[in-house]
Structure 1
């Protein structure tokens, strides 16, 4: 008896930003030079595509425990642009071609057509080392970083971002998120999502705002800066780091959906005595602010992409006969006539007795009849009592 075994593995990059790569392709000179050149160029372009991520699949055909066929396929759907041939050469029976190209990875869920705006609460970003914010008076970064993300996400229109900047998800930012147990994460993020009526929660920690080389040059710079400032001059600008961790939690289960650390550096060319503040016009005009702005664009791109791949979910808050009230704002883009599937929420425990949220398909749907500013009214074919639909069940659009 023959058995097929299919193993798939995805190695896709998250970011959808294009990257520039340089690769060398090669092909044997077994026939004409023009054919070898064409094959070498294809090899170079294939290598460039794989730099942006790949999907690896393995198919095995087994007969009585013996592998008869073992195929491994590597596929990339990255897009190449601005392809330039750098050099070509013939060496040891091979034709080689070097190219430079811009590579844009395949989107995480390119086939997704889900159009509803998901509600996302953006919490305050804790400072792992508050003393580093003293230079430039950047302490307001704990609230204003999240507000920058809120405004940018809302401007894009795909997400309904809510300002929860006065709330912190972690008691000790230095140890987030590893210090938080699964139960704490579930309780905190779910409670926050329920409070704001959000489907997801975005949080984070500012890890580093230090001047590069500050520890080695502190004494000398302190003396030089003092005398220069007395004479009306300022010391030369110095590179400063910016490192931030970003987390995305599901507001229903508390599970972490995304975690990534971002880092950059730029010239801090503001006066050391200036109270610049974070996200002020003076901050954005600095070389440092320019680099931070670019990094935050990457953060928004990734959060946008992660949440785009998630289903739209809203909580049922009231049932009466065939009518169902759903907690979803008008800004989510729901319209009369839209249909949603109904799911029952439940809890089960894994082997470590940790709670997990489970959604069970109730094989029924609701049709939206009214869209109010803060909620939606829908109807079912049968009464809620016949289908056992109750408060805290969910409606989902995939």
Structure 2
């Protein structure tokens, strides 16, 4: 639990963050919870889905909750008092105890098993496979790759991450290592807008047909002691008589950025760093990612670092809602640009959202996603697309191509 205080131009902002849990073990806790949602356009299916989501969230909060509070004071007067509560608990084995319409509301009461201290609060979207494109990694210091002929690292690192991600649950990774998103590598990704969006990520995602874009910058691959002699069999004998040599330590530092492909928002950012011994000859043609490279102490350390980055990417993406674009609309039917390969099945319900491009005061564009409060039921599924139906015509919502469906 902590709090922080900021003052600027007569405005005081107080941030208060707290976490608490009603259960202190990882055992499953049976919880009853109720969810409520308004009935829009007389569509009870949409209201039921939203009420179920509300009930799951309420069950999660009863076991593990995080409280975020923001207060803004201007000249001593409280002008904004904002409180948000969310949870990191996992809800499973949901049983519906009662449900039905109550006037303009739909009520659902559930009994669920809740496990505290889990990664994702809501498991309703985790069985869908989310698409990820890995772009090439820009190099801040290309000259660092000269030793060992590691110049292919900008593309090879992305290729390795694609292979690793495709072996993990819930992800479908595509290689886009031929493109990079940051022409100015030292400041990446600070050239994004104040809204923490990157319009190049949006355009790349549309071109590639993916939900997330993973990019990055390789910051450092330099030797710590460039003139240090290579290790030899005499070193242990020299050490016995008190003579030691500088180690041929080499660094590897890279940043990873994950952007939402529909809004351009930065959803994850992290820097990874390691070092290892590089004892190869200065003119050796080792190559990045080769068997020879990973047989070195340096390569083994980099391999572990890549594994950690891939795990972090998987965790980040799995905790995001599943999203797909609407490729076509016709009466009350929508054609979704995701199908069996993403895990969609007939009978699934997808929330429908409209998208629009907006501009801020600085002229920077951003994408706004608007909830229609309605859902579409999947009726037909093909390998790479699905057909879903809504209770109302798409004209009433002004749905168009490139609008979205979402599952939490």
Q: Normalising TM by the smaller chain, what interval?
A: 0.5 to 0.7
CA offset at residue 159 of structure 1? 1.0
Question: Quick one: structure 1 residues 145 and 250, their matched pair in 2 at CA, closer, same or farther if it must change by over 3 Å?
Answer: same
1:117 is aligned to 2:125: no
Equivalence for 1:260: 270
CA offset at residue 351 of structure 1? 5.1
User: 164, 189, 201: which one pairs with 1:177?
Assistant: 189
Q: Is contact 2:124–2:407 with CA below 8 Å preserved after alignment?
A: no
Q: Counterpart of 1:337 in 2: which secondary structure?
A: coil
* Root-mean-square deviation (Å): 3.3
User: 202, 206, 213: which one pairs with 1:190?
Assistant: 202
Which consecutive unaligned segments of at least 5 residues does structure 2 have? 1-13, 21-64, 70-75, 77-86, 90-115, 233-244
CA offset at residue 310 of structure 1? 1.0
CA offset at residue 237 of structure 1? 6.4
CA offset at residue 356 of structure 1? 3.2
Equivalence for 2:35: none
Tell me, in whole angstroms, the C-alpha distance in 2 between the residues paired with 1:189 and 1:56: 31
Q: Counterpart of 1:156 in 2: which secondary structure?
A: coil
1:312 is aligned to 2:322: yes
Tell me, in whole angstroms, the C-alpha distance in 2 between the residues paired with 1:326 and 1:351: 34
Q: How does 1:135-214 map to 2 (within 5 A)?
A: 135-181=147-193, 186-214=198-226
Question: Quick one: structure 1 residues 245 and 379, their matched pair in 2 at CA, closer, same or farther if it must change by over 3 Å?
Answer: same
Q: Which runs of 4+ in 1 moved over 3 A?
A: 54-58, 105-108, 110-113, 179-186, 347-356
- Under a length normalisation based on structure 2, what TM-score does the superposition of the two structures give? 0.66
Tell me, in whole angstroms, the C-alpha distance in 2 between the residues paired with 1:149 and 1:344: 32
Equivalence for 1:357: 367
Q: Is contact 2:138–2:185 with CA below 8 Å preserved after alignment?
A: yes
User: 252, 273, 287: which one pairs with 2:283?
Assistant: 273
CA offset at residue 289 of structure 1? 0.9
Tell me, in whole angstroms, the C-alpha distance in 2 between the residues paired with 1:162 and 1:312: 17
Equivalence for 2:310: 300
Tell me, in whole angstroms, the C-alpha distance in 1 between the residues paired with 2:282 and 2:246: 10
Question: Quick one: structure 1 residues 56 and 325, their matched pair in 2 at CA, closer, same or farther if it must change by over 3 Å?
Answer: closer
Tell me, in whole angstroms, the C-alpha distance in 1 between the residues paired with 2:334 and 2:342: 17
CA offset at residue 323 of structure 1? 1.9
Q: Is contact 2:353–2:404 with CA below 8 Å preserved after alignment?
A: yes
Tell me, in whole angstroms, the C-alpha distance in 1 between the residues paired with 2:385 and 2:331: 18
Segment drifting more, 355-364 vs 140-149: 355-364
Tell me, in whole angstroms, the C-alpha distance in 2 between the residues paired with 1:57 and 1:250: 23
Q: Which structure has the larger Rg?
A: 1
CA offset at residue 330 of structure 1? 2.8
Equivalence for 1:82: none
Q: How does 1:1-398 map to 2 (within 5 A)?
A: 8-9=16-17, 106-114=117-125, 115-181=127-193, 186-214=198-226, 217=227, 221=229, 238-350=248-360, 352-398=362-408
Deviation by residue 1:148-197 (Cα, 9 ceiling, x = unmatched): 11111110122111100111111132332224556996331111000110
CA offset at residue 368 of structure 1? 1.1
CA offset at residue 387 of structure 1? 3.5
Tell me, in whole angstroms, the C-alpha distance in 2 between the residues paired with 1:324 and 1:126: 39
Tell me, in whole angstroms, the C-alpha distance in 2 between the residues paired with 1:281 and 1:299: 20
Q: Counterpart of 1:138 in 2: which secondary structure?
A: coil
Deviation by residue 1:17-71 (Cα, 9 ceiling, x = unmatched): xxxxxxxxxxxxxxxxxxxxxxxxxxxxxxxxxxxxx96789xxxxxx9xxxxxx
Tell me, in whole angstroms, the C-alpha distance in 2 between the residues paired with 1:111 and 1:386: 30
Which consecutive unaligned segments of at least 5 residues does structure 1 have? 1-5, 13-53, 59-64, 66-75, 79-104, 226-234
Q: Is contact 2:197–2:366 with CA below 8 Å preserved after alignment?
A: no
Tell me, in whole angstroms, the C-alpha distance in 1 between the residues paired with 2:398 and 2:193: 34
Deviation by residue 1:58-117 (Cα, 9 ceiling, x = unmatched): 9xxxxxx9xxxxxxxxxx999xxxxxxxxxxxxxxxxxxxxxxxxxx9444254342211
* Alignment size in residue pairs: 298
CA offset at residue 347 of structure 1? 3.5
Tell me, in whole angstroms, the C-alpha distance in 2 between the residues paired with 1:141 and 1:259: 20
CA offset at residue 297 of structure 1? 1.2
Question: Quick one: structure 1 residues 275 and 106, their matched pair in 2 at CA, closer, same or farther if it must change by over 3 Å?
Answer: farther
Tell me, in whole angstroms, the C-alpha distance in 2 between the residues paired with 1:135 and 1:354: 41
Question: Quick one: structure 1 residues 56 and 329, their matched pair in 2 at CA, closer, same or farther if it must change by over 3 Å?
Answer: closer
